[in-house]
Amino acid sequence: SWGYLSAVAELEHQLANDPMLPDSMDQIFMATGSGGTLAGVATGVALSGLGCKVVGYNVCDDHSEFHRHTNGFLTELGLQEAFKSEDIMELSDAKGDGYSLNTPEELRVIADVALHSGVVTDGTYTGKAVVGFLRDYQTDPAKYDGKRIMFWHTGGLLGTFARAEELQQLIGTRGKPSL
C-alpha cells in the first residue's frame, strides 16, 4: 500500500506536466486481490488533487474484506477520521468461476486484449479486472461517455504461463481481435 501512495503522486505529476497526457482522470480501475494496491491507490487519490473515482475489481473475497483492509491502512496513517474506505473507493465483483479459475469468455477477452493492444493480462488478477470493466461498460456505456479512464495494470505476466496452451489455441484461431 505504501508504495502506491508515491505512485499516485507520480501519476499526478505526470498528468500535470506531460502535454501528451490529459490533465486529469475521471476514473482509475484495477484488479484487487489482497487489497494492498487498492488501499494505496485509493488513499493516494484521496490525498491528492486528482479527484477521480477509484474502482477495484475484486477477484476474491467480498467487499467487506477490502474495506476492512483499506480502513486499517487509513488508521495506520492516522487518517481514520478524515477518510473512510467506503467513501474513497468502489468495488465491483470480477471473481468469475473463482480465484485463479477462468471461464472460456475470460480467456477469450485476455487473448483479444493481447492481440488488439499488445497488453498482456493474466487470468488471476488483471484479466479478470478487464473482463469486469468491459461487463460494466457494456451494461451502461453512457456512464463512460467522454470520461478519461485509466486501467492501473499491476503485472501478472507470469500468470499467463499456467494458461499458455489455452491462450495459444484462442490466439491461433483468430485472424483479428474481436474487441
pLDDT of residue 124: 87
Which segments within 63-172 are labelled E, that is strand? 90-93, 149-151
pLDDT of residue 80: 95
- How many CA atoms, within 13 angstroms, populate the side-chain half-sphere of residue 68? 6
Are 40 and 5 a contacting pair, CB within 8 Å? yes
Mean pLDDT of 61-87: 96
Query: How far is C-alpha 45 from the geometric centre of its chain's CA atoms?
Result: 14
When computed from its CA atoms, the radius of gyration of the chain, rounded to whole angstroms, is: 17
pLDDT of residue 174: 55
Higher-confidence residue: 167 or 22? 22
> pLDDT (tens digit, 9 = 90+) per residue, 20-45?
999 889 999 999 999 999 999 999 99
pLDDT of residue 49: 87
pLDDT of residue 164: 67
Instruction: pLDDT band for 75, please (50, 70, 90 cuts).
Output: very high
Residue 159 has pLDDT above 80, yes or no: no
Element (H, E) at 92: strand 90-93
User: In the predicted model, what is the mean pLDDT of the chain?
Assistant: 90
Nine-digit cell at 26?
475521471
> pLDDT (tens digit, 9 = 90+) per residue, 96-130?
998 888 898 998 898 889 888 888 898 889 999 99
Residue 65 has pLDDT above 60, yes or no: yes
Mean pLDDT of 48-59: 94
pLDDT of residue 1: 87
Residue 149 has pLDDT above 90, yes or no: yes
